[in-house]
Amino acid sequence: MRILLIEDDLQICEVTRKYFTSKGAEITVINSGSEALDMAENGIRDYSIVLLDIMLPEADGFTICRSIRRNSDVPVIFLTARGHEEDILHGYELGCDDYIVKPFLLSALYAKCSAMVKRSGGSSGTVISCGAIKLDTRKLTCCVDNEETELTPKEFSILSYLMEHQGWIVDRDTLLDNVWGDDFFGIDRVVDNNIKRLRKKLGDAGKQIHTVTGRGYKLTDT
């Protein structure tokens, strides 16, 4: 789970960062409203969820949320001291997924984030990155060094599974089950042939798909 925390209270940032990191989450902290707005206007990518304060310097949270919703469907939770009914309703009107009034329990916040990410499919806007490769699982596009590469549906599915299990050794039977389905009765050589074509289409980035002799394939960022 990758968290983007947009908050100018340094104490809240630090305790939240420590707690979420202790749970195994990755968390990026932004203190500036203008920096967050720039990121939102370019599309929030590579994050599972956004935790957003309202009272920020240079750009308020409502403005940032509005921009996020124009460019991304990443879940957004407001974390704010503003607990008036009109503020809460306005937050939901802008498209937030939850509205939490400070002070809050870190354990409850983490549980909410985990549940929300699980319901949303766990991804960052839908973009998965590894080294030079980026996949958008909603738009079904693949980019290598920001240049789009055309893949067949099977090639895309293979790469998507490897991307979701970066660093893992994935055997051929697992790829057959998850890409071709349980009712496939061919031979596992079909996996090798598709991997070969996939590597070729990815160019230099194809070297990121490593053959682990006798075991399967592993995707790394180099």
Q: What is the CATH number of the domain that holds 65?
A: 3.40.50.2300
- Confidence (pLDDT) at 130: 92
Q: Has residue 96 got a pLDDT over 70?
A: yes
**In a shared domain, residues 113 and 131:** no
The average pLDDT across 129-150 equals: 89
Last residue of a domain, one of 67, 100, 120: 120
**In a shared domain, residues 106 and 132:** no
Last residue of a domain, one of 120, 149, 168: 120
**CA–CA separation, 143 vs 168, rounded Å?**
22
Contact in structure between 66 and 93 (CB atoms under 8 Å):
no
- Confidence (pLDDT) at 193: 92
Q: Which two tokens stand for residue 172?
A: 């051929």
By mean pLDDT, which of 84-98, 158-172, 184-198, 200-214 is the weakest? 184-198
The average pLDDT across 99-118 equals: 85
**In a shared domain, residues 13 and 107:** yes
Q: What is the DSSP string of 21-61?
A: HHTT-EEEEE--HHHHHHHHHT---S-SEEEE-SS-SSS-H
- Confidence (pLDDT) at 124: 46
**In a shared domain, residues 55 and 72:** yes
**In a shared domain, residues 6 and 116:** yes
Domain count, the chain: 2
**In a shared domain, residues 31 and 49:** yes
Q: Has residue 123 got a pLDDT over 50?
A: no
Q: What is the CATH number of the domain that holds 134?
A: 1.10.10.10
The average pLDDT across 167-180 equals: 89
Counting other chains too, the contacts that 202-205 makes at CB distance below 8 Å and 24 or more residues apart are 202/133, 202/144, 202/149, 203/144, 203/149, 204/132, 205/131, 205/132, 205/133, 205/144, 205/145
Q: Has residue 199 got a pLDDT over 90?
A: yes
Q: Has residue 136 got a pLDDT over 90?
A: no
**In a shared domain, residues 116 and 31:** yes
**In a shared domain, residues 113 and 137:** no
Domain of 182 in residue numbering reads as: 127-219
